[in-house]
């Protein structure tokens, strides 16, 4: 009973967690736990570190846990070493597939707790290790199950207090060194040794473990360095302190409780990945399948299609030193494999989605003063752009479609019903995405040109600036949007821009990709007939209805969620779109739309995320937008001003300076900016530079309930093909 009271007291502390002024009291990892396509995962970890603990289940509506993986190896892809406490006779079917019904679950970034059938569990993380505590209702029938979740491997019980695990998955090996504070004994093990059932010899048992991608001895070293004893509370406190420091870099004041919960939970998710997999001077890289000696962190698990937009720019502000290490990790991956990865996950490059977005990330970092081996980085992104296939979900040399693009300046499309003849195209689902590729690589090539200019490579600069203009080749004037074109230069007819799928676009339709030219909005507006016509088109984006039935629509466009007209808030290519009004000279419309989408499409509930959050991709949009600004074009170091959700937001910069956004008179009704001052001087533009932000200071916005249509209508933020070439930028 005394053990139960101690456990209950600890769990009560986890629930109440914090005093009212504790920033962690605003974090709820269950927000978005019931997703439109994918739910969020309430990961328990130290920010950007290897161990990520989260229950294995369908979503928050699933009342059973299949396993508690000892770590999530790659976001949404693999977890390794399933662990589950069981009670003899407390399950139906074989013990190898038994699940546990949970209740009273408490999720915090630094600790987990839940009531299971016949026991209770707590967990706290360290960098490469973790500690769990299980209190059974009775000692009799108390069991611990460990199993592999991917691939194959084995478990070996060494003595009565140590279990060593090995799991082979996705072409690499994971090792676990697992220690118990009281004796355990073997009950049963499957023939392939991939699942083992142990009996606990005590009503309360603690389990410490270390994980390594090098070998079992390193897993033991990781454990002994980080969790040498059995004090779960101490481990939890260290993890808690790490989160207090990370989240405390942004302090918001005022606003509603739901808005603060949404904001800080989103900020918490911005630290799920990338993760540092270096292990005390060594790391295993799946990019060359070697163990490397290095005192520098080595980061993996990044989906750049999702994260280049706002997650990496946010971390560039908050943690530039870490961002430099992440960029250098990508450079090392290129050295090791010969390709700059698109999705650098634990098992190597996963060539998902489209684009050469490492170039955008590097160009943005370079423009903001970050230091890494940019010469080698440029070599890598140039190689990707000119020598690797650009098709989605493919690695390898250029194919016939890439060569057509190099020669003609657009990806050729197939007519409806026309059979695919290129074997490299991923069928049946992904297909060519021909227009989406044409716009994506125009932006990515523009980013390569920016890097080339900084290195004095004038021939490469001109080559890639020319390629950056090729988006114009798929602009159809009579339709007023980007449109599929066949190999003979004929427009594809008989398709509705609302319902074009992956044959032509990536996860979205023609209306979304109408604005997919972040690097040259000036040129796009000219194609549209000028700013006035572009403004009309942008207005219509939010107003044209989806008229197809929901069932049919989501079969064709499953990723287009959080719809406001044709604007898809639930998918990454839409994030910058509300801010385009700033570039059109009507920032009051940005202010209106940002509040519309965040108030109507997001919430602080389990269903409060409108699409795939993707490990910080969408959450960073929320963080930026609620602070009141957004990086519309990574690679151009400016931020478009939106409309803040708090009276005061203070960003603590790494050099001890602060940048503060004050919204005088802000309320949910007073969302419109009447005037602005930056460091006491009148600001007549709806944007500011990264240099102005990192210099520290105060952006003071006077808010009102009616729009001031004159403020910010002139001095517009830059987005043009020759940015950096003219005007001494």
Beta strands across the sheet bearing 672-678: 250-253, 648-652, 658-664, 697-704, 672-678, 681-682
What pLDDT, on the 0 to 100 scale, is given for residue 724?
83
Does the structure show a pLDDT above 70 at 314? yes
User: Average pLDDT in the 209-227 region?
Assistant: 98
What does each C-alpha distance from 207 to 132, 333, 645 come to in angstroms? 5, 35, 43
What is the average pLDDT across 252-256?
97
Q: Tell me the per-residue pLDDT of 372-389, one tens digit each, with 9 for 90 and over.
A: 999 999 999 999 999 999
Return the number of other C-beta atoms located less than 10 Å from residue 697's C-beta.
17
Task: Say what the pTM is.
Answer: 0.96
pLDDT of residue 4: 39
Q: Which domains does the chain have, with CATH numbers?
A: 2-247 (2.70.98.10), 252-704 (1.20.1610.10)
Q: Residue 11 above 70 pLDDT?
A: no
Please give the average per-residue pLDDT across 480-508, as a whole number.
96
The 10s digit of each residue's pLDDT in 427-455 is 999 999 999 999 999 999 999 999 999 99
- Note the pLDDT of residue 21: 60
627-659 residue pLDDT tens: 999 999 999 999 999 999 999 999 999 999 999
Please determine, for residue 416, whether its predicted confidence score (pLDDT) is greater than 80.
yes
pLDDT of 20 above 50: no
Q: What is the pLDDT of residue 725?
A: 67
**Backbone φ/ψ region at 528: left (φ over 0), alpha (ψ -120 to 50), beta:** alpha
Q: Identify the pLDDT of residue 554.
A: 86
Q: Give residue 675's pLDDT.
A: 98
Residue 582 · residue 592 · CB < 8 Å: no
In this predicted structure, what is the pLDDT of residue 729? Answer: 53
- How confident is residue 551, by pLDDT bands cut at 50, 70 and 90? confident
412, 670, 672, 683, 698 from 702: Cα distances, Å: 50, 9, 8, 11, 13
**Structure token digits, residue 667:** 């309320």
d(CA 550, CA 528): 31
* Chain mean pLDDT for the chain: 95
The span from the CA of 512 to the CA of 531, in Å, is 18
pLDDT at site 5? 39
Whether the per-residue pLDDT at 359 is higher than 90: the answer is yes
Question: Could you tell me the two tokens for 554?
Answer: 């989501």
Instruction: Specify the pLDDT at position 550.
Output: 83
The whole-angstrom separation of Cα 144 and Cα 177 is 15
| 607 DSSP 8-state letter | T
Helix (H), strand (E) at residue 481:
strand 481-482
pLDDT digits (tens, 9 = 90+) for 56-96: 999 999 999 999 999 999 999 999 999 999 999 888 889 99
Q: What was the pLDDT predicted at 395?
A: 93
Report d(CA 726, CA 710) in Å as an integer.
27
Q: How many helices (H) and strands (E) would you count in the chain?
A: 20, 34
pLDDT tens across 321-347, in order? Answer: 999 999 999 999 999 999 999 999 999
């Amino acid at each position: 009973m005394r053990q139960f009271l101690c456990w209950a007291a600890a769990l009560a502390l986890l629930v109440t967690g914090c005093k009212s002024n504790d920033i962690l009291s605003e974090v709820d990892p269950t927000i978005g736990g019931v997703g439109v396509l994918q739910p969020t995962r309430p990961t328990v970890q130290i920010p950007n570190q290897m161990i990520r603990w989260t229950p294995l289940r369908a979503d928050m509506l699933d009342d059973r846990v299949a396993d508690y993986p000892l770590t999530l190896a790659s976001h949404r892809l693999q977890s390794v070493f399933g662990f589950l406490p069981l009670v003899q006779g407390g399950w139906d079917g074989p013990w190898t597939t038994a699940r546990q019904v949970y209740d009273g679950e408490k999720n915090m970034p630094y600790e987990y707790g839940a009531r299971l059938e016949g026991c209770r569990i707590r967990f706290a993380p360290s960098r490469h290790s973790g500690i769990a505590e299980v209190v059974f209702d009775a000692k009799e029938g108390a069991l611990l199950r460990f199993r592999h979740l991917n691939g194959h491997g084995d478990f070996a019980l060494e003595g009565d207090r140590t279990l060593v695990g090995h799991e082979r998955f996705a072409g690499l090996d994971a090792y676990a060194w697992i220690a118990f504070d009281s004796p355990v004994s073997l009950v049963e093990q499957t023939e392939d040794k991939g699942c083992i059932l142990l009996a606990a010899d005590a009503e309360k048992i603690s389990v410490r473990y270390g994980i390594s991608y090098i070998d079992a001895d390193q897993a033991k070293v990781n454990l002994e360095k980080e969790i040498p004893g059995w004090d779960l509370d101490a481990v939890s406190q260290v993890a808690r302190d790490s989160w207090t420091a990370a989240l405390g870099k942004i302090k918001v004041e005022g606003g509603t409780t739901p808005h603060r919960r949404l904001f800080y939970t989103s900020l918490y998710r911005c630290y799920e990945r990338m993760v540092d997999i270096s292990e005390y001077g060594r790391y295993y890289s799946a990019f060359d399948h070697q163990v490397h000696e290095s005192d520098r962190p080595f980061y993996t698990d990044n989906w750049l299609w999702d994260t280049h937009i706002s997650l990496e720019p946010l971390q560039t502000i908050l943690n530039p030193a870490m961002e430099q290490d992440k960029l250098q990790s990508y450079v090392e991956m290129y050295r090791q494999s010969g390709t700059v990865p698109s999705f650098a996950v634990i098992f190597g490059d996963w060539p998902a989605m489209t684009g050469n977005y490492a170039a955008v990330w590097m160009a943005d970092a370079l423009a903001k003063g970050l230091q890494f081996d940019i010469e080698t980085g440029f070599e890598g992104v140039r190689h990707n752009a000119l020598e690797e296939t650009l098709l989605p979900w493919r690695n390898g040399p250029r194919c016939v479609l890439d060569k057509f693009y190099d020669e003609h300046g657009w990806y050729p499309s197939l007519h409806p019903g026309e059979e695919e003849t290129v074997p490299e195209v991923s069928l049946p689902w992904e297909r060519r995405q021909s227009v989406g590729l044409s716009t994506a690589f125009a932006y990515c090539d523009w980013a390569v040109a920016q890097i080339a200019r900084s290195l004095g490579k004038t021939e490469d600069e001109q080559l890639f600036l020319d390629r950056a203009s090729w988006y114009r080749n798929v602009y159809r004037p009579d339709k007023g949007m980007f449109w599929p074109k066949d190999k003979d230069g004929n427009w594809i007819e008989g398709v509705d821009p609302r319902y074009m799928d992956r044959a032509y676009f990536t996860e979205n339709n023609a209306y979304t990709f109408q604005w997919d030219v972040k690097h040259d909005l000036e040129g796009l507006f000219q194609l549209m007939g000028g700013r006035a016509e572009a403004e009309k088109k942008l207005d219509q984006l939010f107003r044209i209805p989806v008229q197809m039935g929901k069932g049919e629509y989501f079969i064709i466009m499953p990723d287009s969620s959080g719809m406001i007209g044709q604007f898809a808030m639930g998918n990454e290519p839409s994030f910058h779109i509300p801010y385009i009004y700033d570039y059109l000279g009507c920032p009051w419309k940005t202010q209106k739309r940002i509040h519309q989408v965040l108030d109507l499409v997001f919430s602080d509930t389990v269903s409060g995320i409108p699409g795939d959050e993707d490990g910080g991709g969408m959450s960073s949009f929320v963080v930026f937008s609620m602070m009141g600004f957004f990086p519309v074009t990574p690679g151009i170091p400016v931020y478009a001003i939106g409309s803040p959700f708090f009276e005061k937001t203070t960003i603590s910069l790494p050099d001890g300076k602060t940048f503060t956004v004050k919204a005088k008179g802000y309320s949910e009704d007073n969302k419109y900016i009447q005037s602005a001052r930056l460091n006491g001087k009148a600001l007549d533009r709806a944007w500011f530079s990264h240099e102005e932000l990192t210099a520290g200071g105060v952006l003071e916005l006077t808010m009102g309930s009616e729009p001031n249509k004159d403020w910010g209508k002139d001095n517009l933020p830059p987005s043009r093909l020759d940015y950096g070439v003219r005007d001494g930028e």
